[in-house]
Amino acid sequence: MERTTDTLEGGDAQTAKLQALAPVLENTAKSVLLTDADRQRHARIQSGSLAVLAVGGVLVLMYLAKAVLVLTLVSVLIAFMLAPIVELCQRIHLPRSLGSLIAVLLMCAALYGIFYVSYSQANEFVSELPKYSGKIRSVLNQVRLRAERVRQTTRNVLPEEKVEKGTLTVRQSSNWMDDLTSGAIGATEVVLLAAFVPFLVFFMLSWQDHVRSSTVMLFNMENRNTAYVTLGLISQMIRGFIVGNVVIGVILGITSTIAFWILGVPYFYIIGMISGIVSLLPYLGIVLAILPPVVVSLGSMNIRSFASIVAVVAISHVIALNVLYPKIIGRRLQLNPLAVTLALLFWGWLWGAMGLILAVPLTAAIKIIFDHVESLRSWGDWLGE
């Protein structure tokens, strides 16, 4: 009986101890849970910070290596344009390296022919330029007079800047020799970089299969099939983009040539094709497409002819963007207009004029990658239609 009483008293003591320790245990559990939540929150903040730093580092690298990246991407586009020639050579049982060499030589010959024809036409235009010198001079005088009127009006409206006596104004004078040297260095860099294009295109064509298979082998075994399909879709997209632009450029070139022939524009058979192809450039295309016919028509231009040229270029540009481009290229890329506009702004800011040219295929390739990565699929849906 005494043992039972002692047992009950011991149980009550243990229960009392547990009840006394309960708040302590509860606080300890809460502190552990809070610690885990804080760790998860810190981990998310750390991963987000690392992602921001990684994106910033990539952007800095892309800006600093702009020349190399642009040159490589342009070579990739040219290689896709010449790929049908290589495939045709393979069908007649020629080695791929020989077919690549033939394609590159044909590209160089075509570029030389375009340069030779353009140079001869430019010389002919310069030789006939003195005939129009009087009219060009009068047009320039009118522009100068209007600019002078605007300057006088601005001077009358805005107060003149007061200069205190004894103040010495220092103006930096530009040295023409330095400008000429810097311009020559810039032109030399462009020529040197452009000289790598034929070699890059040749190796891209001749080693295409090796590069593709080696790129797939860089991924894990479970991701290799996805990488292979993604590369195939990107190749198909780039080829469709190039073919679509060529088709639209030819259509615009032919229609512009016919229109300029009717309007009596000199050298319409060259100016029409140049204007039609240049019109495909985003944003700046319509402005650049107007310049060639206006320049060659300075000698015989009046307000009516100028308005006709602008109307022809504007109508062709609007039809190309709203009818031809969505029908021929839009369904291949599957990008929404907002994504295309933002891509043009971003790549144009990053790489300038070449960024505007490469913006659409780069964004379409990024969308294809996003569509085949589970964690990035929502971004691919945002870029899509």
Reported as a single tens digit per residue, the pLDDT across 335-375 is 887 888 888 888 888 888 788 888 888 888 888 888 888 88
> What is the mean pLDDT of the segment spanning 188-203?
80
Tell me how far CA of residue 277 lies from CA of 54, 103, 357, in angstroms: 38, 22, 12
Express each pLDDT in 20-30 by its tens digit: 656 655 666 55
Instruction: Please report, for residues 142, 235, 270, 301, the alpha-carbon distance to residue 212 in angstroms, rounded to integers and kept in the order given.
Output: 60, 10, 39, 54
Report the mean per-residue pLDDT for the chain.
75
Reply yes or no on whether the pLDDT at 312 is more than 80: yes
Is-contact 195 40, C-beta < 8 A? no
Positive or negative: CA dihedral 115, 116, 122, 125: negative
pLDDT of residue 310 exceeding 80, the answer is yes
Mean pLDDT of 265-289: 79
Output the pTM of the full model. 0.68
Is the confidence at residue 166, as pLDDT, over 60? no
Output the pLDDT for position 225.
85
d(C-alpha 375, C-alpha 371), whole Å? 9
Q: Which of the pair, 190 or 377, is modelled with greater confidence? A: 377
